[in-house]
Amino acid sequence: MTGIVRRLRRRPPRYSAAALVWRGMRGDHWPRIWRDTELKRSYDAVVIGGGVHGLATAYYLARNHGITDVAVLDKAYLGSGASGRNTAIVRANYLTPEGVAFYDRSLQLYNSMALDLNINVMMSERGHLTLAHSDSSLRTMHWRAEVNKLQGVNSSVIGPDEISEIAPSLDTSSHPRYPILGALHHPPGGIVRHDAVVWGYARAADHMGVELHQKTEVLDIVCEGGEGSNGKGAGGRVVGVRTNRGDISTPIVVNCTAGWAGLISAMAGVRLPITTHPLQAAVTEPVKVFLPTVVVSGSLHVYISQTDRGELVFGAAVDPVATYSIRGSLEFTEELAGHVLELMPSVSRMRLLRQWAGLCDMTPDYSPVMGFTPVDGFLVDVGWGTYGFKAAPVSGEQMAEAVATGRTPELISPFALSRFDTGELVGEKGAASVGH
Amino acid sequence: MLLVPCPNCGPRNWSDLRYGGESHARPDPATATPLQWRGYLYLRDNPAGWLRENWYCRSGCRRWFTVERNTATNEFRDPPMPGDKRGAKA
| Per-residue confidence (pLDDT) for residue B90, from 0 to 100 | 40
Return phi, psi of residue A275, to 5°. -120, 150
DSSP states along B20-46:
EEE--PPPPTTT--HHHHHHHHH-B--
Give the whole-angstrom CA distance, residue B40 versus residue B36. 6
Chains A and B: how many Cβ contacts under 8 Å? 64
- Pairing state of beta strands B76-77 and A369-372? unpaired
Task: Please give the mean pLDDT across all residues of chain B.
Answer: 88
Reported confidence tier of residue A5, pLDDT bands at 50, 70, 90: low
Query: Angle at Cα A299 formed by Cα A298 and Cα A303, nearest 5°?
Result: 40
| Per-residue confidence (pLDDT) for residue A11, from 0 to 100 | 61
| Per-residue confidence (pLDDT) for residue A357, from 0 to 100 | 93
Residue A267 has pLDDT above 90, yes or no: yes
Residue of B nearest to A275 (CA): B46
Residue of B nearest to A329 (CA): B1
The arithmetic mean of pLDDT across residues A101-109, rounded, is 94
| Cβ distance of A421 and B35 shorter than 8 Å | yes
Residue A281 located in a structural domain: yes
Of A160, A434, A175, give the one whose Cα is nearest residue A300: A434
Reported confidence tier of residue A425, pLDDT bands at 50, 70, 90: confident
Residue A107 has pLDDT above 50, yes or no: yes
The arithmetic mean of pLDDT across residues A369-378, rounded, is 96
CA distance A326 to chain B (A): 9
Q: What is the pLDDT of residues A38-60, one digit of tens each?
A: 999 999 999 999 999 999 999 99
Give the whole-angstrom CA distance, residue A113 versus residue A119. 8
Best probe of the B interface among A255, A267, A277, A324, by most B CBs < 10 A, is: A324
- What residue spans of A315-376 are helical by DSSP H? 330-343
What CATH code is carried by the domain that includes residue A133? 3.30.9.10
The answer to whether B47 faces chain A, any CB pair under 8 Å, is yes
The arithmetic mean of pLDDT across residues A260-265, rounded, is 94
Q: Which residues contact B33 (CB under 8 A, 6 or more apart)?
A: none
Give the residue numbers spanning the domain of A344. 126-183+275-362
Among B21, B43, B74, the residue with its CB nearest the CB of A325 is B74
Residue A45 located in a structural domain: no
Residue A234 has pLDDT above 60, yes or no: yes
Task: Please give the mean pLDDT across all residues of chain A.
Answer: 92
Superfamily the domain B3-77 falls into: Folate-binding superfamily (3.30.2270.10)
- Contact list in B for residue A274 (CB cut-off 8 A) is 44, 46
Residue A244 located in a structural domain: no
The arithmetic mean of pLDDT across residues A282-289, rounded, is 95
CA distance A151 to chain B (A): 30
Residue of A nearest to B35 (CA): A421
Reported confidence tier of residue A422, pLDDT bands at 50, 70, 90: confident
Best probe of the A interface among B46, B52, B69, B74, by most A CBs < 10 A, is: B46
The arithmetic mean of pLDDT across residues B3-18, rounded, is 91
The answer to whether B22 faces chain A, any CB pair under 8 Å, is yes
Residue A333 located in a structural domain: yes
What DSSP state is assigned to residue A320? S
Query: What is the C-alpha radius of gyration for chain A, rounded to an integer number of angstroms?
Result: 22
Q: What is the pLDDT of residues A305-317, one digit of tens each?
A: 999 999 999 998 8
Measured N-to-C along each axis, helices A52-65 and A194-207 cross at an angle, to the nearest 10 degrees, of 40
Residue A151 located in a structural domain: yes
Q: What is the pLDDT of residues B58-76, one digit of tens each?
A: 999 999 999 999 999 999 9
Evaluate whether A186 touches A141 at the Cβ level (below 8 Å): no
pTM: 0.92
Sign of CA dihedral A31, A35, A36, A37: positive
Residue A177 carries which side chain, given as an amino acid letter? R
Q: What is the pLDDT of residues A196-211, one digit of tens each?
A: 999 999 999 999 999 9
Three-state DSSP state, A70: strand
Residue A434 carries which side chain, given as an amino acid letter? V
The arithmetic mean of pLDDT across residues B38-59, rounded, is 93
The least confident of A97-111, A262-276, A343-357, A417-431 is A417-431
Residue A70 located in a structural domain: no
Give the whole-angstrom CA distance, residue A357 versus residue A325. 9
Three-state DSSP state, A131: strand
Sign of CA dihedral A349, A191, A79, A115: positive
Total domains in chain A come to 1
Evaluate whether A115 touches A395 at the Cβ level (below 8 Å): no
- Pairing state of beta strands A156-158 and A182-186? antiparallel
| Cβ distance of A320 and B19 shorter than 8 Å | yes
Chain Cα centroid distance, residue A144: 21
Give the whole-angstrom CA distance, residue A286 versus residue A257. 32
Reported confidence tier of residue A120, pLDDT bands at 50, 70, 90: very high
- What residue spans of A347-405 are helical by DSSP H? 388-405
The answer to whether A325 faces chain B, any CB pair under 8 Å, is yes
Give the whole-angstrom CA distance, residue A241 versus residue A221. 5
| Cβ distance of B46 and A323 shorter than 8 Å | no
| Per-residue confidence (pLDDT) for residue B81, from 0 to 100 | 78
Residue A398 has pLDDT above 60, yes or no: yes
The arithmetic mean of pLDDT across residues A122-136, rounded, is 94
Of A383, A416, A381, give the one whose Cα is nearest residue A55: A381
Domain boundaries, chain B: 3-77
- Contact list in A for residue B72 (CB cut-off 8 A) is 323-325
